[in-house]
Amino acid sequence: MSTGRTVLLIGGVDAHVERFAALGVTLVLIQHPDKVTEYQMRTADVLLKADYTDWDTVRPYAEAARAVHGVDAVVSLTEPGLNPASRLADLFGLTDGRRHEVSRRMRDKLLMRRHLAARGLPVPHFAPVTDRASLDAFGERAGYPFIVKPVSTTAGFGLLRAGGPGDLDRVWARVRELDGGRTDRGSTMFTVDGFLMESYVDGPEFSVEALSFAGRHVVVAVTEKLTSDDHFAELGHAVPARLGDGDRERLTAAVARFLTAMGVTDGPSHTEIRLSSRGPVVIESHNRLGGDHIVELVEAAYGVDMVAYGAAWPLGLVEPLTTPPTARRAAVMRAVLGEPGTVVSVSGVDEVRARPDVLAAQVGVRPGDTVRELRDNWDRLGSVVVTAADTDTAVELCERLVREEIRISVAPGGGAPPAAAPAAPPAPARAA
C-alpha cells in the first residue's frame, strides 16, 4: 500500500533499498555507478546513476528528482552518502538547516575532537599533521605511542601507530603517500583529506549502537569488540557485550552525552568507545548504522531491525523506541584470517553456512588470490556470524567454526608448500 511519501535515498546497499520498498514509499535512488545492483534496478521506482560524493554532480540530479517527484525526506544509511544527503536535506528545507554541519563534524575526526574539547568532554591529546616536524612535536608533547589517522576515511584505512621516534620517518612517508588520494582498497569512494594525531587510549573497546528520536537517544546494544594492538583490523564483535552493569551504564551514559554534544538528534549511530583507565573515551562515531554485520547481530540478539528504523523514522512511519530493548539471545561475528601468500584452496564454507545456528558465512578469496599482511579490515578473508543462548557460548562456537571448519590453504610467497591459514585469535578478557 502506498503511503504517498517520496524518499530520496543517497547510495546504500540492497538491504537499505529493501526496507524502503517495504514501507510503500516512492523510492528515488541516486546510486554510484560502481555500486548499482540488479536488485536496486528492479526495486527502486527511479534510479539515477551518479557519483554522489561529488556535490556539483549530485545536486542537479537531486534537484531534478525533487522537481519531478517531490521529496519528503533525503536519507543515507551509508558512510559516503551521509554528507551529501544531509546537505541536500538542508538545501530542500527538510531539516532545521544544521544537519549537514552535524554530519560533517561526525565524519571529520579533527572537527569532532575540537568540538568535544570546546565543550569539556573527554578527548585524548590531538593535533593535525601539518608536516614532518609536527610528528616530532606531538610525540614530545603527548608521548608515545600515538595514533595517526586520516580525518575522514573508514574501516581502519590508513591508520598508523607511532611507537617511538624511530617510527616517524615511516609514518611520514605513508602520510605523504596517501594524503590527497582516494582510498585504494575495498572502496574508492573516500578521499584522504588530511591526517590527525592523537594519543593512544588504553582499555577494552566497545561500540554502542543507538537510535535517536528528536534528540532522545535510545541505546539498542553495546557491542564487545575483538581488536589487537598489532594492527587496525577488527577481528570480531559480540552482543550483548560481557559487561558489568556499572561499566555498561558508564559507556551508555558517555555515548548519550557525546551524541547530544555533537548535535545528533535523529536516526542511527555507531559509536566506538574505549573503557580506559581514566574512564570512557570516544574513539570515533558515525551517524549511520554499524557495519561488519553489527546490524545482523543486533537484530538476532535484540529483535530490533535498526535498518528498518533508519528508513522509517525520517518519514514518520514508525513509533520511537521508548526504552532500551532486552537481549533475547547472543550473536557473534569472527573474522577469517590468513598468513600472507597465495591462496591454494578454500573449503568448508558451504557446510558452515548450512548450520542452523549460523547466520552468515562467507570467504572473499579464491585459489590464486593474494593474501596481504593484516593491516585493516580490507585484509580479512571473510567472516562467520552465529547465534546462541548466551555470549560465552556464541563466542566459543564462532571461534571453533573459524578455527576448525573453514579451511584456507595458503602458499607463503607463492612458492612454499601450502600452510593452513590461522584462525582468529582468542577472545579478549572480559571488562570488569
**Nearest Cα residue to 251 out of 228, 283, 226:** 283
pLDDT at position 178: 87
For the record, the C-alpha cell of 26 comes out as: 516512492
Is residue 188 pLDDT above 70, yes or no?
A: no
184: which residues sit within 8 A by CB, 6+ positions away? none
Is residue 250 pLDDT above 90, yes or no?
A: yes
Q: What distance in Å separates the CA atoms of residue 381 and residue 379, rounded to the nearest whole number?
A: 6
Is residue 156 pLDDT above 80, yes or no?
A: no
Q: What distance in Å separates the CA atoms of residue 380 and residue 233, rounded to the nearest whole number?
A: 8
Q: What distance in Å separates the CA atoms of residue 371 and residue 342, rounded to the nearest whole number?
A: 6
Taking a C-beta distance cutoff of 8 angstroms, is the pair 168, 162 a contact?
Answer: yes
What average pLDDT does the structure give for the chain? 90
pLDDT digits (tens, 9 = 90+) for 105-137: 999 999 999 999 999 999 999 999 999 999 999
* Banded model confidence at residue 373, pLDDT cuts 50, 70, 90: confident
pLDDT at position 421: 45
Percent of the chain with pLDDT over 90: 81
pLDDT at position 422: 45
Angle among Cα 87, 93, 96 to the nearest 5 degrees reads 80
pLDDT at position 427: 39
Q: Which range, 188-197, 222-231, 422-431, has the best average confidence (pLDDT)?
A: 222-231
What amino acid occupies position 311?
Answer: A
pLDDT at position 154: 63
* Banded model confidence at residue 194, pLDDT cuts 50, 70, 90: confident
Torsion of CA 250, 252, 258, 264, to 10 degrees: -170
pLDDT digits (tens, 9 = 90+) for 32-74: 999 999 999 999 999 999 999 999 999 999 999 999 999 999 9
Preceding peptide of 240 cis, ω within 30°: yes
For the record, the C-alpha cell of 243 comes out as: 559487561
Give mean pLDDT, residues 192-215.
94
Residue whose cell numbers read 595458503: 410
| Domains of the chain, first to last | 6-105 (3.40.50.20), 125-199 (3.30.1490.20), 205-328 (3.30.470.20), 331-420 (3.30.470.20)
Residues written for the chain: 432
Q: What distance in Å separates the CA atoms of residue 397 and residue 404, rounded to the nearest whole number?
A: 10
* Banded model confidence at residue 423, pLDDT cuts 50, 70, 90: very low
pLDDT digits (tens, 9 = 90+) for 393-415: 999 999 999 999 999 999 987 54
Give mean pLDDT, residues 198-217.
96
* Banded model confidence at residue 180, pLDDT cuts 50, 70, 90: low
pLDDT at position 3: 73
Q: What distance in Å separates the CA atoms of residue 342 and residue 366, rounded to the nearest whole number?
A: 9
SS3 381: coil
Is residue 5 pLDDT above 70, yes or no?
A: yes
pLDDT at position 335: 93
Is residue 429 pLDDT above 50, yes or no?
A: no
* Banded model confidence at residue 153, pLDDT cuts 50, 70, 90: low
**Nearest Cα residue to 196 out of 154, 160, 228, 155:** 160
